[in-house]
Structure 1
Amino acid sequence: MDVVVIETPQLGDRSYLVHDGSVALVIDPQRDIDRVEAAAREAGVRITHVAETHLHNDYVTGGLVLAQQHGAEYLVNAADQVSFARAPVMDGDTFSVGRLSVRVVATPGHTHTHLAYVVRDETHDGGAEAVFSGGSLLYGSVGRTDLVTPNDTAALAHAQYSSVRRLVSSASPDAALYPTHGFGSFCSIGPASHQDASTLGEQATSNHALTDPSEDHFVAELLANITAYPAYYAHMSPLNAAGPAAADLDVPESVEPSELARRLHDGEWVVDLRHRVAFAEDHLEGSVAFEYGNGSNFTSYLGWVIPWEQPLTLLGSHEEVHTAIRDLARIGIESPDAAVGPATDGRSTGSQGSRGEEPGRPGGDRSEGPGTSWVGAMAPGVRRRSYPHGDWSLLRQERSAEDVVLDVRRPDEFLASHVEGALNVPVYELLHRIPELPAERIWVHCATGYRASVAASLLDRAGRDVVLIDARFRDAAGAGIELAR
């Protein structure tokens, strides 16, 4: 038995190609199935089965299309209400994939109808086993239980406690564990570990879901650790139940400059993919910053912040736009338009504002001039904007008494430690809460600078006087910033 791991770090998920050297089972495939198909070609195997552990809440599946294109059995829980033909499976069912034997194990908790799959190779490797646990047993933790309805959260947490115990008893302690979630996904909850591999036996001695002798204590702890999750999650399960079509991953023709100008003028969402400093120094009025790459949570935060099913235009290099379209397709954002610029963004290396702006002073409108970035050519006639940016020393040196410090981290992060006197509005709530903020200049920060850059662009779009603190929160105290708990 060979297991090929197909990672999607942008969403903190993994898909799996499990094969015997001839035929393969695919578990929880992402929507961009070309990655799975490439893995199958490299392994020299034919895909005969595609299985879902659950109707996913954090991404749109590629399972149906993959199964249809390869004439494979599409295994989905018989209890799930879906609008497409599938091979219904339930607890205790077994089937063969070549020389591999697969057993279905009901593991309710992450959802009511969640399944896990125990795969065994009877003829090789001494009967090696692998357990594909989806959003049930994760490395160090379990999948969150609040994604169905608030009324079901506690009951599903109790079910999760029982399910992981049943799953551990369903295979040998040496069985390799392969979860779908838990690698940065918002679907995990509790003290998840950062390990890349594990076994059932290892989890039995280290995972709090298995070591806590009190079910009530485990449930109480799980519920206490629940934090917010992306708003787009509400749309994922219905899309998956309806049977998603194939994704269109092509980069469209670049929109005409006059059309981009119209979209900005009409308040449509134009997302600038460049580095947050390049955006702060020079951007089109009305655009917003969602820096692409560098390990960012671009997909999750764009889907969380921008209202669902709004017209969307991506502004960036061809490579950035191409990969961003793939990422957004995974969460059901279909075929966004694009304004495609050159491969580089001409970002300056200054630590403050560009073009001689005084550090800490408001940015404002920008005029054309030598050394400015290429974005102006994308929509001639659209005013350009900028705002100051810097680290914690800039805040310490330039903040006025009436200025506001805005912390856009989650409430639990804020409660753990925050800048003395700061306001807390999570970035995913900011769009609708901007009118609540004081009229004074706003210094915005988060844990690393990414969420703050999104927030700063939203504030700038709303005409507010904003300064981006592009620094890690953990460095604030060392820079002389007073913190409170």
Structure 2
Amino acid sequence: MILRQFYIDGPGCLSYLVGCEHHGLAMVVDPDRHVDKYLELAEKLDLEIIGVVDTHLHTDHVSGNTELADVTGAEIFLPEAAEATLEHSPLAAGDVLEIGNVRLTVLPTPGHTPESISLLVWDVTRGEEPFAVLTGDTLRVGDVGRPDASQPAELEGLARQLYHSVFHTLAELPDSTIVYPGHATGGSCGKGGGSIRLSTIGYEKRTSPIFSLRDEAAFVEFVTTQLPERPANHDRLRDLNRRGAPIVGVVEPEPLPLQDAVHYLARGAALVDTRPKAAFKEKHPHGAVHLELGPTISKRAGYVFYPEETIVLLLDSPEDYETAFWELARVGYDNIVGYLEGGMRTWEAAGFPVAAGDVEDVSPKTAYEIVQNGSHAQFIDVRERWEYRQAHPPGVTLIPLGELPSRLNELDPDRPVVIICNSGNRSQTAAGILGQNGFRKVYNVLDGIVGWMQQGLPVEQGD
């Protein structure tokens, strides 16, 4: 039997290749859109990928099911309750998928989403008990999936379904059953969890704070409060996965001469600068959005761009193109027309407007002085409401990051804006949104509210 786990840093997504080496067959579970890694492993192990299974309609990334099916001819499987419209075979409770000597049995575990399933993994040559369970985003190590991922209006009802999935379904499995979740640390599909990427049912029952909440009301309260921000593209990604994502195929670098890049920009395309932060601060095209190429770019993009937005990339090196493409395509932004040939040097040589330091990192003490010295700066907190209630600077206005694009009209682009979050990461994303929308001066508070309190600056609690 073969069971290999794949991890994507940043969003924290986990996917799996499950196979039988004796029969040379495999299926991929919860694949992300960049499918080369599955194909390379299958070729290395001489396996034929015959099926692609998603445990639910993902809301934080685009499934690679259509991509894999196009390359391999594999059959796509989705939960029956997903009501998906792409060509697929629906899975219902108790259905069995045969992979040679390996079997996957469908176990309905709704709560994270209404259609969520888990997959019991059986090695028929080893015994009569399941070897493992692929829990999707229902159960994570030390955590569960957030119940508002798909239908925020039905939060409490989904939370109650999640309770029953955890305590009346998964907890009933043998303690020795290995738990392979759909997420580890990172991403926006849960509240917490650690960096460990597998566990057992018995260990989770003994040690996870989730399993200490045996009272249903206490469980529901826990999983429905203090949730991380919900990116604006969650609903769009869920709908895209219901329809089936368009096939990308082979990605080739697409250099754009300056005149072509300007053509797209003049028609509303976003210019995304993926260079390191130091290079962006030194100089960048006026109006460019800074999304530094790295583990967090996929997550941050969901707060910045509108659906179907056309994107022109500004790269540190042409070799970065494929990585940047897949990081954005992973979260549904695949209308990338190319990268600016010659980069910043070409832009400057043509005499186009250049900005420097539009977003300035400042210490909490400096931010406090800016707000207090009569500069008429606008002070906004982009954390979630529950975080704001715990502690916030006096006079700050709460605009959670997920709401910022729709509330820009509440801010004056001609006045300075000071942005604070918990540690300085979300505020950097917020600064990119403001920069894209013509705000002239933006200050990002380094170390966020944590640094603010460590420096002894005043805070308030409550609303």
State TM-score, norm by structure 1: 0.84
Q: CA RMSD in A?
A: 2.7
**CA shift in 2, pair 1:137/1:457, >3 Å:** closer
**Corresponding residue to 2:367 among 381, 384, 395:** 395
**CA shift in 2, pair 1:406/1:173, >3 Å:** same
Deviation at 1:264, TM superposition (A): 4.3
Deviation at 1:134, TM superposition (A): 0.5
Asked if 1:413 is matched to 2:387, the reply is yes
**CA shift in 2, pair 1:268/1:63, >3 Å:** closer
**Aligned pairs (5 A) from 1:165-176:** 165-169=167-171, 171-176=173-178
Distance 2:285 2:401 in 1: 21
Aligned residue number for residue 234 of structure 1: 235
Aligned residue number for residue 273 of structure 1: 274
What residue identity is the alignment partner of 2:323? T
Structure 1 window deviating more from structure 2 (401-410 vs 193-202): it is 401-410
Distance 1:178 1:24 in 2: 17
Distance 1:74 1:461 in 2: 39
Aligned to 1:131, the other structure's residue is in SS state strand
Distance 1:321 1:470 in 2: 31
Distance 2:394 2:144 in 1: 35
Distance 1:129 1:167 in 2: 16
**CA shift in 2, pair 1:440/1:70, >3 Å:** closer
What residue identity is the alignment partner of 2:105? R
Deviation at 1:375, TM superposition (A): 6.4
**CA shift in 2, pair 1:182/1:269, >3 Å:** same
Distance 1:449 1:30 in 2: 28
**Equivalent residues of 2:49, 2:74 under 8 A apart:** yes
Aligned to 1:48, the other structure's residue is in SS state strand
**Equivalent residues of 2:4, 2:18 under 8 A apart:** yes
Distance 1:327 1:263 in 2: 21
Distance 1:422 1:332 in 2: 33
Deviation at 1:17, TM superposition (A): 0.8
**Equivalent residues of 1:107, 1:115 under 8 A apart:** yes
Aligned residue number for residue 402 of structure 2: 428
Aligned residue number for residue 300 of structure 1: 299
Deviation at 1:162, TM superposition (A): 0.7
Distance 1:14 1:451 in 2: 23
What residue identity is the alignment partner of 1:61? S
Deviation at 1:480, TM superposition (A): 5.1
Deviation at 1:119, TM superposition (A): 0.6
Aligned to 1:401, the other structure's residue is in SS state coil
What residue identity is the alignment partner of 2:8? T
Aligned residue number for residue 189 of structure 2: 187
What residue identity is the alignment partner of 2:329? A
Aligned residue number for residue 101 of structure 1: 103
**Aligned pairs (5 A) from 1:353-392:** 374=345, 376-377=347-348, 380-386=350-356, 387=358, 389-392=360-363
Distance 2:437 2:27 in 1: 50
**Equivalent residues of 2:287, 2:438 under 8 A apart:** no
**CA shift in 2, pair 1:461/1:196, >3 Å:** closer
Distance 2:350 2:331 in 1: 32
Aligned to 1:405, the other structure's residue is in SS state strand
Deviation at 1:336, TM superposition (A): 0.4
Distance 2:430 2:360 in 1: 13
**Equivalent residues of 1:53, 1:115 under 8 A apart:** yes
Deviation at 1:201, TM superposition (A): 0.6
Gaps of 5+ in 1: 346-372
Aligned residue number for residue 247 of structure 2: 246
Aligned residue number for residue 149 of structure 1: 151
Distance 1:277 1:455 in 2: 18
Deviation at 1:74, TM superposition (A): 2.7
**CA shift in 2, pair 1:425/1:276, >3 Å:** farther
Distance 1:151 1:443 in 2: 32
What residue identity is the alignment partner of 2:301? L
**Equivalent residues of 2:33, 2:62 under 8 A apart:** yes
1:459-484 superposed Cα distances (whole Å, 9 cap, x missing partner): 34444342433622233334454333
Distance 1:47 1:460 in 2: 45
Structure 1 window deviating more from structure 2 (36-45 vs 52-61): it is 36-45
Deviation at 1:200, TM superposition (A): 0.7
Deviation at 1:27, TM superposition (A): 0.8
**Equivalent residues of 2:423, 2:451 under 8 A apart:** no
Distance 2:254 2:127 in 1: 52
What residue identity is the alignment partner of 1:401? G
Percent of aligned pairs with the same residue? 27
Distance 2:340 2:387 in 1: 37
**Equivalent residues of 1:31, 1:330 under 8 A apart:** yes
**Equivalent residues of 1:249, 1:335 under 8 A apart:** no
**Equivalent residues of 2:171, 2:205 under 8 A apart:** no
**Equivalent residues of 1:11, 1:300 under 8 A apart:** yes
Distance 1:167 1:463 in 2: 52
Asked if 1:289 is matched to 2:287, the reply is no
Aligned to 2:256, the other structure's residue is in SS state coil
**CA shift in 2, pair 1:142/1:388, >3 Å:** closer
What residue identity is the alignment partner of 2:236? H
Distance 1:15 1:57 in 2: 15
Distance 1:159 1:394 in 2: 48
Aligned residue number for residue 76 of structure 1: 78
Structure 1 window deviating more from structure 2 (300-309 vs 164-173): it is 164-173
Distance 1:334 1:396 in 2: 40
**CA shift in 2, pair 1:7/1:149, >3 Å:** same
1:347-401 superposed Cα distances (whole Å, 9 cap, x missing partner): xxxxxxxxxxxxxxxxxxxxxxxxxx63634x72211112362441543666633
Asked if 1:453 is matched to 2:428, the reply is yes
Distance 2:379 2:456 in 1: 15
**Equivalent residues of 1:118, 1:171 under 8 A apart:** no
Aligned residue number for residue 330 of structure 2: 330
**CA shift in 2, pair 1:432/1:75, >3 Å:** closer
Deviation at 1:122, TM superposition (A): 3.3
Aligned residue number for residue 419 of structure 2: 444
1:158-205 superposed Cα distances (whole Å, 9 cap, x missing partner): 11111122333553211110111343121124x423323210111112
**CA shift in 2, pair 1:330/1:390, >3 Å:** closer
Distance 1:430 1:216 in 2: 32
Aligned to 1:483, the other structure's residue is in SS state coil
Number of paired residues?
A: 452
**Equivalent residues of 2:133, 2:179 under 8 A apart:** yes
Deviation at 1:121, TM superposition (A): 1.6
**CA shift in 2, pair 1:186/1:49, >3 Å:** same
Asked if 1:482 is matched to 2:458, the reply is yes
Aligned to 1:476, the other structure's residue is in SS state helix
